[in-house]
Structure 1
């Protein structure tokens, strides 16, 4: 009986597609950080992985940098195009970021609120001096600067 190579190939392709979808949904698809993004954005906060927001949010944020959450974060036109294009290509898709969160804030997105609910993260944690606010990912996620947010890398400050 002659075996076709199609079935194993189809299964391998399906497995690869599932892994890619799972990474996109988990926010764990680590994209190499654009040096210009790291330089410009991480000067004030961590360089949030682009998969944490949908393309529409990144487009809005990049179009309103002169009023970026109370700060003028304006960029020259070349940097704006380079960073904006990179964010659009690597923006979140799939279940995690199916819609733009209120005010384009990661901390107001449905997936963030689900992962950081009061049972998982008691409200007093956000008030601790070492944490400060929900947007300070690196306070608890020890590998946040590298774009890794695994539960095994969480250490909540006392």
Structure 2
């Protein structure tokens, strides 16, 4: 009986610890070197699980005007990266908390233009003063790594937020 109680205690403790761990990804980390090279050369290589496939497809067909820049790719790289984004998009990664919440926040036919315009992201950042988001050290919601120090690992939890000229975020 003691052994059974010990086993149950260890099991419950491990579940509790995992749910509060800073090491558990909220969204699947990026694992494609071509994506990191091509997209990450200009900006943070956003995890595909932060947008649904329709949004990634909309973005990929307009790379000649990608947020006022020409990010055109050769056809082979375009096809490879579009497939990677589709195969790892938010609706394909619903086991991850943030991917699930992003998809759930969207209307049936809603196709966001960017990660920061999804209803989920707007809601998550609504309590942050605009001047903290637009300051030079951050520049905008698009700059995840400015405040989310573990964003590159797919971890966006509140414990890992440190806003420049403000400090740790406590909600």
TM over 0.5: yes
Over 4 Å off, 4+ runs: none
Give the drift of 1:151. Answer: 1.4
Alignment of 1:118-157 (within 5 A): 119=127, 121-157=128-164
Distance verdict in 2 for CA 1:32–1:45, change over 3 Å? closer
After TM superposition, the score normalised by the length of structure 1 is 0.75
Deviations 1:78-136 (A, max 9, x none): 111111001001111244224422xx11111100001001x2x1112112221111111
Alignment of 1:1-158 (within 5 A): 28-93=26-91, 94-97=100-103, 98=106, 99-101=110-112, 104-117=113-126, 119=127, 121-158=128-165
Question: What CA distance in whole angstroms lies between the structure 1 residues aligned with 2:146 and 2:119?
Answer: 21
**Structure 1 stretch 92-101 or stretch 52-61: which is displaced more?**
92-101
Query: In structure 1, the residue corresponding to 2:44 is in which secondary structure?
Result: coil
Question: Unaligned stretches of 5+ in structure 2?
Answer: 1-24, 92-99, 166-171
After TM superposition, the score normalised by the length of structure 2 is 0.70
CA contact (8 A) 1:46 1:144 kept: no
CA contact (8 A) 2:30 2:46 kept: no
